[in-house]
Chains A and B, each alone.
Chain A
Amino acid sequence: MDLYEYQGKQYFARYGIPVSPGGPADTVDEAVAVADAAGYPVVVKAQVQVGGRGKAGGIKLAANAEEARFHAGNILGMDIKGHVVKRVWVEHASDIAKEYYASFTLDRSAKKHLLMLSAQGGVDIEEVAATDPDAIVKLHVDPVEGISSAVARQAAVDAKIDAEAIDGVADILVKLYEVFTMGDCDLAEINPLILKPTGEVHALDAKVSLDNNASFRHPEWAEFRETEELDDREKLAREKDLQYIGLDGSVGIIANGAGLAMSTLDVVNQVGGKAANFLDIGGGANADVMTAALEVINYDENVTSIFINIFGGITRGEEVAKGIVEALRRVELRAPIVIRLDGTNAEEGRQILADAGIPESKLISKPTMLEAARAAVAIANGGN
């Protein structure tokens, strides 16, 4: 789950990382009130999860209440690359002497945590990595040992951070590592991390991506979920506890297992179709799960055919077939189903489907993944 900048800053603040005084605002009046409290000049920043906010006019400096009102009015409701701004973050504007970059992620290849630190912040770090790779210090941190102040300090020296900022940067690195580990982040990034003319170091931006697997020990994440950008289909799937990702094609996909679901998308694509979604119903495929899955697919108006791809392992073919027949009784579908049922007792399962008396206009059974994909795509494309 990706956090908005203001949420990331609030998350940073919990772990003692200094951020500018400020607050979120949903209306112009709120924005002005926050600006008054933060002290002028202020920066008004659009809260959207997309890069290039500044260039799009979503970040503005305001010297007084009048300007804050003007900019907040412009930015709230603004469309930035398809994201409508519903909230702004208003904070006291900082004087900037230097801009740095700092982040922690997991290096899956090394199976250790990775610190990236650069004296060249404020710009796209991928660009720095491409044009001047030596400007980024990359340091592996053993997850068992963590990062000590001494190691953080040495990293700052190696990254050629200005002498007066070394202590401040090292302190923030240790705290950022706490955010990353105790806060269970996939990514904790500060860009820019700034040095003020007064010698203080603090986070001017916050990019935080949380590890959803850790939500069981973070009840405080509930508030972040409320603001997550999900389309209606994804919201419905979440309510039903399904692994669903909305896409923009016309073939609705239901499969058991993430790998098989990905593979189903691929095969549909290979035979000239486009998937409307990714949906993994997991190992079991009983009537309740199948009903929920079909309801989510059915909600999507773009779907003109549905491809159910099930491989029975421990869940036997006849159980899967019974689940589908029962689900079809419960849900009135807008599009026909093509099913490929294979694996343990697949033949018995197919017999149950054949005996259920469902007309071919509603349910077609094919023995292989490829044949089923062709049939589903033919229906989807014919419907256009």
Chain B
Amino acid sequence: MAIFVDQHTKVIVQGLTGGQGRYHGLRNRAYGTQVVGGVNPAKAGTDVDGIPVFASVAEAVVTTGADASFVAVPPPAAPAAILEAAAGGIRFIVCITEGIPASDEARVFNTLKRDFPNTRLLGPNCPGVISPGRCNIGITAGEIAQPPIPGKPTVGIVSRSGTLTYQALYELKLKGIGVSTCVGIGGDPVPGTSFVDCLEQFQADPETHAIWMIGEIGGTAEEEAAEFIKAHVTKPMAAYIAGVTAPAGKKMGHAGAIVSGGKGTAQGKMDALRAAGVQVGLNPTEAGELMAGIVASL
């Protein structure tokens, strides 16, 4: 098993006819993901390398039975694309778009919550999700992810940062540790899916034996995760928090990564996670070694 996506997931790409959508959509298909369609009203009836393009999400869903969507359209169009996917019957939406205004994100999040409570949004501004060997939606390089190895413990990964997610996947691959699912929740202020959502799923997933969490400065998502871990997570965990040395008041690339008013510091997050029983590494490599130690003890 895995969380959110597996070999049965059927994906459409909103923006398949654009540069990013085509590039990553075709890569995802080459990885083995069932990419069953694309959406572009102006190009309905055509195809992208054999993948049919539909006029709307609703039409694509009816025709292909798609249950997931990969949104790869520019910031001004992304909010409408996400809501169209939800209205069209998609249950899992991955939005990689970087640069969506926070007011749009907040509006989309609350609209989904009110009108489409069974639809999950991952992102925006995230690398996507990969269940290695089964399904890859987004921009992760599939070859750096180790599929689960039968008879051996597997690790679930959840991260706010893209490249640090890849780093984590790669460290586990080098150590010969399989990954059930790796989820990049993204670095924006209003992520559709939170750490807590992912931890809840990993805790319930029989295939996941340990969890690696990668956070960063800003907001209180890591502190909320620590509360949840204390109360509900029994699987062993390692964590890393980026941004110990980031100065207050400066946004570090991600719109969400900012320390303001003394809140959202890396130290506070590390303390909260340690108090919840999580092993915290001071750099990604150290966290990887802690995770390897956890896996060896299982």
Q: Give residues in A with beta carbon < 8 Å to B.
A: 106, 108-109, 111-113, 126, 142-144, 180-181, 184, 186, 211-214, 216-217, 243, 245, 247, 255-263, 265-270, 275, 278, 280, 283, 311-314, 342-344, 368-370
Contacts and interface: CB of A to CB of B under 8 A. Distances in A.
B27 to A, nearest CB: 7
Contact of B246 (A265, A280, A342, A343): A265
A106 to B, nearest CB: 6
Contact of B252 (A211, A278, A343, A368): A278
Contacts of A261: 252-253
Contacts of A111: 106, 109-110, 190
Contact of A181 (B103, B160, B161): B103
Contact of B254 (A109, A212, A259): A259
B192 to A, nearest CB: 9
Nearest to B113: A111
B226 interface: no
Contacts of B246: 262, 265, 278
B247 A247 contact: yes
Contact of B242 (A126, A211, A266, A311): A266
19 contacts: A108-B219, A112-B110, A143-B107, A211-B101, A213-B255, A245-B250, A258-B163, A259-B242, A260-B164, A262-B217, A262-B242, A263-B243, A263-B283, A265-B246, A270-B283, A283-B139, A313-B139, A342-B167, A368-B285
Contacts of B139: 283, 313-314
Contact of B220 (A109, A256, A280, A314): A109
Contacts, number: 166
Nearest to A248: B247
B147 interface: no
The 10 closest A-B pairs by CB, nearest first: A259-B161, A258-B253, A257-B163, A214-B101, A260-B163, A259-B164, A313-B141, A143-B106, A262-B242, A269-B245
Chain A facing B: main interface SS: mixed
Contacts of A266: 242-245, 266, 282-283
B158 interface: no
B276 interface: no
Given A143-B107, A258-B161, A342 B170 contact: yes
B159 to A, nearest CB: 8
Nearest to A345: B143
B200 to A, nearest CB: 17
Contact of A259 (B107, B162, B251, B285): B162
B163 A311 contact: yes
Interface size class of B (residues with CB under 8 A): 35 or more
Given A270-B282, A369-B283, A262 B253 contact: yes
A113 B109 CA distance: 12
Contact of B107 (A144, A270, A283): A144
B177 to A, nearest CB: 17
B102 A216 contact: no
A259 B103 contact: no
B76 interface: yes
B42 to A, nearest CB: 21
B144 interface: yes
Contacts of A313: 139-141, 144, 163, 166
B189 interface: yes
A213 B283 contact: no
Nearest to B214: A259
B207 interface: no
B170 A343 contact: yes
Contact of A262 (B107, B159, B257): B257
A180 B103 CA distance: 9
Nearest to A266: B244
Contacts of B219: 108-109
Contacts of A259: 159-165, 187, 214, 216, 242, 254
Contact of A216 (B76, B109, B190, B255): B76
Nearest to A182: B103
A280 B253 contact: yes
B231 to A, nearest CB: 17
B100 interface: yes
Given A259-B159, A266-B243, 13 more contacts: A108-B189, A112-B110, A181-B103, A258-B252, A258-B253, A262-B257, A263-B283, A283-B162, A314-B27, A344-B143, A369-B284, A369-B285, A370-B285
A243 B214 CA distance: 21
Nearest to A181: B103
Contacts of B103: 143, 180-181, 184, 211, 214
Contacts of A369: 283-285
B75 A213 contact: yes
Contacts of B75: 213, 216
Given A108-B220, A111-B110, A263 B252 contact: no
A314 B142 CA distance: 9
A260 B167 contact: yes
A243 B283 contact: no
Nearest to B256: A108
B245 A143 contact: no
Contact of A186 (B102, B141, B165, B257): B102
Nearest to A145: B110
B150 to A, nearest CB: 25
B252 A108 contact: no
Contacts of A370: 283, 285
A262 B251 CA distance: 11
A216 B255 CA distance: 16
Nearest to A274: B245
A263 B283 CA distance: 7
B243 A144 contact: no
Interface centre among A113, A181, A186, A312 (most CB of B within 10 A): A186
A344 B107 contact: no
Nearest to B240: A263
Contact of A109 (B165, B217, B224): B224
Contacts of A109: 219-221, 224
Given A280-B253, A311-B166, A314-B27, A263 B284 contact: yes
